[in-house]
Structure 1
């Protein structure tokens, strides 16, 4: 049997305690991230449903498919345009980059495909769907943070400190 000197045992014990504390902190972070991610997904669902209801209200109140229909959405034969928002993936996470409407640069307002003066319910639906885009980016970032926390937990559990 190998005899370990007393100071070495106390160092080992304190390292294990520190690793255990770090693991506890990581699990706590993970649970908070799961909670935030779940809330974000719930908000996304509500926002999307609200936008869909507003869109249905617009169609109902303003003449069915006459006001808002897929036939009004541009096709391959339509004039080209640029997207008003883009997903940008950086080291800080995913974010949404929005452009101002500028016809000369090809940035057109999609709302005007349906009408020059769109009804308020359609404008509100557009705002709900824009909020959905932001929530998707937030959800993606939370999911990435959750993955990083899980990776850290896995690495720490495999380390020699907790063996």
Structure 2
């Protein structure tokens, strides 16, 4: 990329319908139409990092929303990263890293830890930024009680702000429940 993208950090409440529609279109394009309405809903209600090109076109997006996660008998405030996407045609140019840098600053200022569920394609980005695969059990607190999410083990990454300590992997992470994909 021959120019530095303009990065805008904004809460969902600060965005108009056109900007939200633009994010939705980017996500549909970046995920080849495989980004469900529940997935989009999960990305709302928190802070968004948006990378714009010189002509004002939206090139990349990611958001961080608050979730509660139980660990070793404590409810932790977790910044959960959602909907990280880069428009096809401008990938591998640092836009994903620029978006993640903004989201990590939000996590560092507001949360005990960060977490995300990575696709195979996205894992290298997160690992390069110091995110680590959670080595313990993953579960959720469903309306019917705790449910282990074994399929999320090995794809759930955590990040702790500088000065923080990584939670003990001998204890599971139990996330709050939500519709659609829980993680």
Provide TM-score, normalisation by structure 1.
0.24
Larger helix fraction of residues: 1
Q: Quick check: which has more Rg, 1 or 2?
A: 1
Larger strand fraction of residues: 2
Question: Higher relative contact order at CA 8 Å, sep ≥6: structure 1 or structure 2?
Answer: 1
